[in-house]
């Protein structure tokens, strides 16, 4: 099955063609137009600017994805578009474009949940089988999920306040770094280590320690680190604080994932731990989670770097997996600014571990 995917839920206009066969997923093209420059002056994404830019870019980005894939429309089996969650103005642009393309070419339309795209993104780099335990860490979400298959996942835990990516972005801003903050903070933290710095002199709160569930909390860390950022005098101070923050986030992700692994291992023989979403691009976090997975007898998988942050290949793949199961959408399907991933109960109970 060969599917065109469209992604416009935030500040990337993206289109991709993915072929799904018995051998796994093959990315034929993946084009991403980032709007970072349009939003940089505001220190974050401005919804009105984003929606307008998607309108301007979607047609060119899609045509490029088709030509780089070396296909014409008759080579496609379906059109997948992100239908939420996200900024509704942007979602509507990609979804409407997808509807028009599907109608014009007589192709099935597949409305895809953006988070389901992140959930399958690791499958773009390696052949894997369901089920798996997923840590989804992105700009707007931080969740642990039992993923049994496409459209069949349940949540074991979630953040009770901020997402991990949001904490990276806000703390980076307090440190005077640009947007998006995650990659900038990772670079600064590396400087600390190169110069033999030590972040352990900064005391940061450890949230939810010992709590008997798989939830996350980052707002205390965000506030404490932002306050400490004001006390930094030298570049070395700032780098050391960045290192401390990165370690604190990695540690919380690992602590909560460890609880989920213990519960998950009781219900599943096939033990695979996957981390996905923009924060999965962070090397310290990847390494920490890989070590943890190994310690608990789980295989470990993260998406190729290019497919951690927003892209359309993950949307095309989720669309292809849905199409394979006959899960297509009506042409009048609505955009959903809020759309939880899990609509079924978990077979794993993390709370009573
Ligand atoms: P969501 O998927 O929840 O709707 P989003 O689409 O905005 O949110 P993603 O594109 O998946 O999120 O990820 C963007 C987030 O990832 C940002 O918060 C960014 O700071 C963070 N991020 C990206 N690279 C890194 C990195 N190397 N280290 C830490 N954080 C990172
Ligand atoms: Mg983005
Ligand atoms: Fe995302």
Is residue 116 in contact with ligand 1, taking CB distance under 6 Å?
no
Is residue 89 in contact with ligand 1, taking CB distance under 6 Å?
no
> Is 186 assigned a ligand-binding role in the annotation?
yes
C-alpha to C-alpha distance for 277 and 306, rounded to whole angstroms: 11
C-alpha to C-alpha distance for 301 and 303, rounded to whole angstroms: 7
Say yes or no to pLDDT of 6 above 70.
yes
Say yes or no to pLDDT of 345 above 80.
no
Q: What is the pLDDT of residue 342?
A: 77
Q: What is the pLDDT of residue 347?
A: 62
Cβ pair 337, 255 in contact under 8 A: no
Any idea which ligand is nearest the CA of 13? 2
Cβ pair 101, 65 in contact under 8 A: no
Say yes or no to pLDDT of 350 above 80.
no
Q: What is the pLDDT of residue 209?
A: 86
Ligand 3 centre to CA of 15 (Å) is 14
Q: What is the pLDDT of residue 81?
A: 98
Q: What is the pLDDT of residue 346?
A: 58
- Altogether, the residues listed in the chain come to a count of 353
How confident is the model over 256-283, as a mean pLDDT? 97
Q: Considering only CA atoms, which of 74, 95, 73, 75 is closest in space to residue 84?
A: 95
Cα distances (angstroms) measured from residue 240 to each of 96, 169, 321: 47, 17, 44
C-alpha to C-alpha distance for 224 and 206, rounded to whole angstroms: 11
Say yes or no to pLDDT of 195 above 70.
yes
C-alpha to C-alpha distance for 135 and 261, rounded to whole angstroms: 11
Say yes or no to pLDDT of 128 above 60.
yes
Token code pair at residue 194? 């190169």
Q: Considering only CA atoms, which of 279, 166, 140 is closest in space to residue 219?
A: 166
Strands 78-84, 109-113: parallel, antiparallel or unpaired by DSSP? Answer: parallel
Say yes or no to pLDDT of 172 above 50.
yes
Name every residue whose Cβ is closer than 8 Å to that of residue 29 and which is 6 or more positions away in sequence: 15, 16, 17, 64, 65, 66, 68, 69
pLDDT per residue over 25-77, tens digit each? 999 999 999 998 888 888 788 999 999 999 999 999 999 999 999 999 999 99
- Nearest atom of ligand 1 to the alpha carbon of 309: 10
- Grouping H, G, I as helix, E, B as strand and the rest as coil, residue 34 is strand
- Nearest atom of ligand 1 to the alpha carbon of 281: 27
Query: In this structure, what is the dihedral angle of CA atoms 313, 179, 94, 80, given to the nearest 10 degrees?
Result: 20
C-alpha to C-alpha distance for 159 and 144, rounded to whole angstroms: 9
Q: What is the pLDDT of residue 178?
A: 85
- Residue of 6 and 209 predicted with greater confidence: 6
Q: What is the pLDDT of residue 343?
A: 63
- Residue 115 dihedral angles phi and psi, to the nearest 5°: -70, -30
Ligand 3 centre to CA of 158 (Å) is 16
Ligand 3 centre to CA of 118 (Å) is 7
Say yes or no to pLDDT of 207 above 60.
yes
Q: In what order do the strands lie in the sheet with 2-7?
A: 24-34, 12-21, 2-7, 78-84, 109-113
pLDDT per residue over 138-157, tens digit each? 999 999 999 999 999 999 99
Is residue 281 in contact with ligand 1, taking CB distance under 6 Å?
yes
Token code pair at residue 311? 């892209």
Token code pair at residue 261? 């692994």
Q: What is the pLDDT of residue 65?
A: 98
- Residue 34 dihedral angles phi and psi, to the nearest 5°: -90, 140
Using CA positions, which residue lies closest to atom 8 of ligand 1? Answer: 139
Residue 171: cis peptide before it, omega within 30 degrees of 0: no
Q: Considering only CA atoms, which of 193, 74, 112 is closest in space to residue 121?
A: 112
3-class SS letters over 43-57: CCCCHHHHHHHHHHH
Using CA positions, which residue lies closest to atom 20 of ligand 1? Answer: 182
User: For residue 179, what pLDDT band results from cuts at 50, 70 and 90?
Assistant: confident
Ligand 2 centre to CA of 311 (Å) is 9
User: For residue 353, what pLDDT band results from cuts at 50, 70 and 90?
Assistant: very low
Say yes or no to pLDDT of 344 above 70.
no
This complex has an ipTM of 0.99
Using CA positions, which residue lies closest to atom 31 of ligand 1? Answer: 182
Is residue 278 in contact with ligand 1, taking CB distance under 6 Å?
yes
Is residue 24 in contact with ligand 1, taking CB distance under 6 Å?
no
> Is 33 assigned a ligand-binding role in the annotation?
no
Any idea which ligand is nearest the CA of 166? 1
Q: What is the pLDDT of residue 339?
A: 92
Q: What is the pLDDT of residue 160?
A: 97
pTM over 0.90: yes
Is residue 208 in contact with ligand 1, taking CB distance under 6 Å?
no
Strand partners, 25: 20
C-alpha to C-alpha distance for 89 and 66, rounded to whole angstroms: 24
> Is 195 assigned a ligand-binding role in the annotation?
no
Query: In this structure, what is the dihedral angle of CA atoms 65, 66, 67, 70, given to the nearest 10 degrees?
Result: 120
């Amino acid at each position: 099955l060969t599917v065109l995917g469209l992604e416009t839920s935030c500040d990337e206009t993206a289109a991709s063609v993915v072929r799904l066969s018995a051998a796994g997923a093959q990315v034929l093209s993946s084009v991403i137009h980032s709007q970072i420059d349009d939003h940089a002056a505001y220190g974050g994404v401005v919804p009105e600017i984003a929606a307008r830019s998607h309108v301007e870019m979607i047609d060119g980005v899609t045509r490029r994805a088709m030509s780089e894939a070396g296909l014409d429309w008759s080579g496609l089996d379906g059109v997948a578009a992100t239908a939420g969650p996200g900024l509704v103005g942007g979602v509507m642009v990609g979804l409407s474009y997808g509807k028009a393309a599907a109608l014009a070419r007589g192709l099935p339309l597949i409305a895809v949940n953006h988070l389901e795209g992140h959930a399958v993104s690791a499958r773009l780099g390696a052949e894997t089988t369901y089920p798996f335990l997923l840590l989804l860490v992105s700009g707007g979400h931080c969740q642990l999920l039992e993923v049994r298959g496409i459209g069949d996942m349940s949540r074991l835990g979630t953040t009770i306040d901020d997402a991990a990516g949001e904490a990276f972005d806000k703390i980076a801003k307090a440190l005077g770094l640009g947007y998006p903050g995650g990659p900038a903070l990772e670079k600064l933290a590396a400087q600390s280590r190169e110069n033999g710095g030590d972040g352990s002199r900064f005391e940061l709160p450890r949230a939810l320690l010992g709590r008997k569930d798989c939830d996350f909390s980052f707002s205390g860390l965000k506030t404490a680190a932002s306050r400490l950022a004001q006390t930094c005098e030298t570049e070395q101070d700032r780098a050391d604080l960045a290192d401390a923050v990165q370690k604190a986030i990695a540690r919380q992700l690992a602590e909560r994932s460890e609880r989920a692994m213990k519960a998950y291992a009781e219900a599943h023989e096939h033990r695979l731990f996957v981390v996905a979403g923009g924060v999965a691009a962070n090397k310290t976090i990847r390494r920490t989670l890989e070590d943890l997975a190994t310690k608990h007898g789980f295989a470990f998988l993260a998406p190729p770097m290019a497919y951690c942050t927003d892209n359309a290949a993950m949307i095309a793949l989720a669309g292809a997996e849905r199409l394979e199961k006959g899960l297509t959408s009506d042409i009048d399907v609505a955009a959903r600014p809020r759309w939880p991933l899990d609509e079924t109960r978990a077979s794993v109970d993390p709370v009573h571990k």
